[in-house]
Chains A and B, each alone.
Chain A
Amino acid sequence: MRTDVFTNAQIIDPEAGNVSLGALAIRDGVIVGHGADLSPPEGANIIDCGGKFLAPGLIDIGVKVCEPGERHKESYRSAGLAAAAGGVTTMVTRPDTTPVIDTPETLEFAARRAAEAAPVRVLPMAALTKGQEGREMTEIGFLLDAGAVAFTDCDHVTTNTKVLSRALSYARSLGALVILHPQEPGLSQGAAATSGKFASLRGLPAVSPMAERMGLDRDIALIEMTGAAVHFDQITTARALPALERAKANGLNVTAGTSIHHLTLNELDVADYRTFYKLKPPLRAEDDRQATVDALRRGVIDIISSMHTPQDEESKRLPFEEAASGAVALQTLLPAALRLYHSGDLTLPQLFAALALNPARRLGLPQGRLAAGAPADLIVFDANAPFVLDRFTLLSKSKNTPFDGARMQGKLAATYVGGRCVHGGLGA
Chain B
Amino acid sequence: MSFSKQHLLGIEPLAPAEITEILDLAEQYVSLNRNEMKHADALRGLTQINMFFENSTRTQASFELAGKRLGADVMNMSMQASSIKKGETLIDTALTLNAMHPDLLVVRHPHSGAVDLLAQKVNCAVLNAGDGKHEHPTQALLDALTIRRAKGRLHRLSVAICGDIAHSRVARSNIILLGKMENRVRLVGPPTLMPTGIADLGVEVFEDMREGLQDVDVVMMLRLQKERMDGGFIPSEREYFHRYGLDAEKLAYAKDDAIVMHPGPMNRGVEIDGTIADDINRSVIQEQVEMGVAVRMAAMDLLARNLRARRQAGQTPGRMV
User: Which residues of A are at the interface with B, using a C-beta cutoff of 8 A?
Assistant: 195-204, 206, 208, 272-273, 314, 317-322
Number of A-B contacts (CB under 8 A): 71
Q: Are A272 and B113 in contact (CB under 8 A)?
A: yes
Interface residues on B, range: 20 to 34
Across-interface contacts of A322 in B (CB, < 8 A): 111
Which single member of B90, B112, B195, B196 contacts A273 (CB below 8 Å)?
B112
A318–B91 Cα gap in the complex (Å)? 8
Across-interface contacts of A200 in B (CB, < 8 A): 172, 195-198, 201
Q: What is the CB-to-nearest-CB distance from A33 to chain B, in angstroms, rounded to a whole number? A: 55
Across-interface contacts of B134 in A (CB, < 8 A): 202-203
A218–B137 Cα gap in the complex (Å)? 44
A249–B104 Cα gap in the complex (Å)? 63
Q: Are B111 and A196 in contact (CB under 8 A)?
A: no
Q: Are A195 and B117 in contact (CB under 8 A)?
A: no
Q: Are A203 and B114 in contact (CB under 8 A)?
A: no
B132 contacts A by Cβ under 8 Å: yes
B186 contacts A by Cβ under 8 Å: no
A204–B131 Cα gap in the complex (Å)? 11
Q: Are A197 and B135 in contact (CB under 8 A)?
A: no
| Selected A-B contacts with CB under 8 Å, 12 pairs | A200-B196, A200-B201, A201-B201, A202-B134, A203-B112, A203-B133, A204-B132, A204-B133, A272-B113, A319-B90, A321-B111, A321-B112
A197–B201 Cα gap in the complex (Å)? 7
Query: Assuming A195-B196, A196-B200, A206-B196, what are 5 further A-B pairs, CB within 8 angstroms?
Result: A196-B196, A203-B132, A203-B172, A272-B116, A314-B89
A319–B200 Cα gap in the complex (Å)? 26
B69 contacts A by Cβ under 8 Å: no
Report the 7 A-B pairs with minimum CB-CB distance, sorted nearest first. Answer: A203-B133, A273-B113, A203-B134, A197-B197, A319-B111, A200-B195, A203-B112
Given known pairs A204-B112, A319-B112, the reply for A197 and B133 (CB within 8 Å) is no
Across-interface contacts of B109 in A (CB, < 8 A): 319
A317–B90 Cα gap in the complex (Å)? 9
B262 contacts A by Cβ under 8 Å: no
**Interface SS of chain B:** mixed
* Interface residues in B107-135 (C-beta closer than 8 Å to A): 109, 111-114, 116-117, 131-135
Residue in chain B with minimal CB distance to A285 = B197
B169 contacts A by Cβ under 8 Å: yes
Across-interface contacts of B132 in A (CB, < 8 A): 203-204, 319, 321
Q: Are A203 and B169 in contact (CB under 8 A)?
A: yes
Q: What is the CB-to-nearest-CB distance from B121 to chain A, in angstroms, rounded to a whole number? A: 9
Across-interface contacts of B197 in A (CB, < 8 A): 195-200
Q: What is the CB-to-nearest-CB distance from A313 to chain B, in angstroms, rounded to a whole number? A: 10
A325–B174 Cα gap in the complex (Å)? 31
A206–B169 Cα gap in the complex (Å)? 15
Q: Are A197 and B112 in contact (CB under 8 A)?
A: no
Q: What is the CB-to-nearest-CB distance from A391 to chain B, in angstroms, rounded to a whole number? A: 15
Across-interface contacts of B196 in A (CB, < 8 A): 195-197, 199-200, 206, 208
Residue in chain A with minimal CB distance to B201 = A197
Across-interface contacts of B12 in A (CB, < 8 A): 201
A199–B134 Cα gap in the complex (Å)? 9
Across-interface contacts of A208 in B (CB, < 8 A): 196
Across-interface contacts of A202 in B (CB, < 8 A): 112-113, 134
Q: What is the CB-to-nearest-CB distance from A60 to chain B, in angstroms, rounded to a whole number? A: 31
Residue in chain A with minimal CB distance to B115 = A319
Across-interface contacts of A198 in B (CB, < 8 A): 197
Q: Are B111 and A197 in contact (CB under 8 A)?
A: no
Q: Are A318 and B172 in contact (CB under 8 A)?
A: no
Which single member of B117, B135, B195 contacts A319 (CB below 8 Å)?
B117
Residue in chain A with minimal CB distance to B117 = A319
Q: What is the CB-to-nearest-CB distance from B5 to chain A, in angstroms, rounded to a whole number? A: 14
Q: What is the CB-to-nearest-CB distance from A40 to chain B, in angstroms, rounded to a whole number? A: 55
Which single member of B91, B113, B200 contacts A317 (CB below 8 Å)?
B91
Which of B89, B131, B197, B198 has the most chain A CB within a 10 Å cutoff? B197
Residue in chain A with minimal CB distance to B169 = A203
